[in-house]
Structure 1
Amino acid sequence: MPSPLGDKLRALRQQKKLSLEQLAELTDSSKSYIWELENRDDPNPSADKISKLAAALDVTTEFLLSHTTATPDAEVVDEAFFRKYKTMPENTKKQIRKILDAWDDDE
């Protein structure tokens, strides 16, 4: 029987229309390792692996490790975005800010 983590991983992976192999590539894992995380009773991934999975699935590590529902709420999605934003190159951040400014001008 899958764990809450396994259920979340599977649901998020399917929402993003990722195969096991695609998620494995995004997280420097093997396809069989992702399958085990989704299907084993008590998976025990490293903190680094949880972090890579959360980034690939656009959620927080806290969400993956919590015992909440399998669907992240807006707060989790926003927090994941801001964490990703912080690691972006300055040029990319500048482009995103320009896009947001353009949307503000439309209102």
Structure 2
Amino acid sequence: MPTLLGDKIRKLRQGKRFSLDQLAELADTSKSYLWELENRDTANPTMDKVAKIAAVLGVTPEFLLDNQQTELSETVADRAFFRKYQKLPAETKQKIQDILKVIQEPDKKSE
């Protein structure tokens, strides 16, 4: 019987249409390790592995490990995005900020 962690990983992986192989490659781990996490009740992953898997799946490690929180919320996705954003180079951050300015501008064509 899989753990809640395994269920969350499987659900998120399938939602992104990743195979075990694809997620393993993106998270720098092995397919067999992911299979164990998804299917065994004795999963005991390292925080490093959980963080890598969470980053690829677009969630926080805390969400994956939290046995109380079973549904993905907008807040979890926002936190995961912000963590990725914080690690970006300044030039890339500026590009994202510029894109947001354009998106948030009122539609001038309709005036």
TM-score, reference length from structure 2:
0.92
- Structure 2 spans left out of the alignment, 5+ residues: none
Divergent runs of 4+, >3 A? none
Could you say which structure has the greater relative contact order, defined with CA pairs below 8 angstroms and 6 or more residues apart? 1
Give me the whole-angstrom Cα distance separating, in 1, the residues matched to 2:54 and 2:91: 24
2:97 corresponding residue in structure 1 = 97
2:44 is the alignment partner of 1:41: no
Give me the whole-angstrom Cα distance separating, in 2, the residues matched to 1:100 and 1:106: 12
Whichever residue aligns with residue 88 of structure 2, its letter is M
1:26 corresponding residue in structure 2 = 26
Give the CA deviation at 1:49.
0.3
Whichever residue aligns with residue 51 of structure 2, its letter is S
- Structure 1 spans left out of the alignment, 5+ residues: none
Aligned residues: 106
- Matches of residues 77-96 of structure 1 in structure 2 within 5 Å? 77-96=77-96
Which is greater in Rg? 2
1:16 corresponding residue in structure 2 = 16
Give me the whole-angstrom Cα distance separating, in 1, the residues matched to 2:89 and 2:18: 26
2:3 corresponding residue in structure 1 = 3
Whichever residue aligns with residue 57 of structure 2, its letter is L
Amino-acid identity (%): 56
